[in-house]
Amino acid sequence: MIEFKNVTKVYPNGVKALDGVDLEIEQGEFVAIIGLSGAGKSTLLRSINQMHPITDGELNVNNEDVRSLSGKSLRKFRRQIGMVFQSFNLVSRTTVIKNVLTARVAEMSWIKSLLGLYSKEDTLEALEALDQVGILEKAYSRADELSGGQQQRVALARCLAQKPQIILADEPVASLDPITAQAVMEDFVRINEQTNITVIVNMHHVDLALKYAKRVIGIKAGQIVFDGPSDDVNEAVLEQVYGRSLKEDEMMGVDSHVLS
């Protein structure tokens, strides 16, 4: 379980990104977070693995007080949380399988990680992860030879090789075309259903959030203004989250420039 209790995050420049957030997410849920740019979506997501440490309140993940973790204990904690970024974060000039194998580095001695001496078991698990996302045949291709959608699948496979309990995805389909974006979201759904890994996704694409997530959290100015089943999201809810009604094209990629 992930539990926020009156969580606040204030950045050094004085910006309050989270303002008294109370939230619980159970193991195995598929949750989408929606809201305008700057509303606090990424801060909320990245506070879970302490990439953005909270300023006040309580944040517990699987019964661990996240604020109390540092050094070795924080690194160990982060192993159970995979992260997928909009920009893929791959090493472009090396092979797909080597990118996936980097998920195992934290479990290796420094000399083995330095020399890239992965075990047979690690290699088989990396290949299995690639198979899970449908690109096993690309295992020995260079990452920069792949399409954007394929690269994001490599990033997802890297997460799976980490054997996480939670996957955090920060705008994972924002740079992909609509058809590829749907295919990648289907990968997230399938993995969530087959493995019971908690999946939390930040999204500008409201239509995809409503189509694929079972639960939607709407955030505005650092506060949760909606939290419920995706089927309960209607025009009134979207107006509450975004400050106005949304047109169909805006539902496919809401941006603060569009709504300002």
Q: Judge if pTM exceeds 0.85.
A: yes
pLDDT of residue 218: 97
Cβ contacts of 46-53, under 8 Å, gap ≥ 24: 46/168, 46/170, 47/7, 47/9, 47/18, 48/2, 48/81, 48/166, 48/168, 48/200, 49/77, 49/78, 49/81, 49/83, 49/168, 50/74, 50/77, 50/78, 51/83, 52/9, 52/17, 53/9
pLDDT of residue 139: 95
Cβ contacts of 228-235, under 8 Å, gap ≥ 24: 230/32
Whole-number percent of the chain with pLDDT over 70: 89
pLDDT of residue 257: 35
pLDDT at 236 over 50: yes
> Where does the pLDDT of residue 92 fall: very low under 50, low under 70, confident under 90, or very high at 90 and above?
confident
pLDDT of residue 148: 92
Rounded-to-10 torsion of CA 21, 68, 77, 14: 50
pLDDT of residue 104: 76
pLDDT tens-place string over residues 5-19: 999 999 999 999 999
pLDDT of residue 244: 74
Across 52-56, 110-114, 120-124, the highest mean pLDDT is recorded for: 52-56
pLDDT of residue 11: 96
Mean pLDDT of 20-25: 97
pLDDT tens-place string over residues 134-147: 999 999 999 999 99
pLDDT of residue 28: 96
> Where does the pLDDT of residue 69 fall: very low under 50, low under 70, confident under 90, or very high at 90 and above?
very high
pLDDT at 202 over 50: yes
Mean pLDDT of 86-115: 79
Higher pLDDT, 76 or 199: 199
Mean pLDDT of 205-233: 96
Residues 6+ apart with CB under 8 A from 180: 147, 148, 149, 173
Higher pLDDT, 109 or 86: 86
pLDDT tens-place string over residues 184-194: 999 999 999 99
> Where does the pLDDT of residue 249 fall: very low under 50, low under 70, confident under 90, or very high at 90 and above?
low
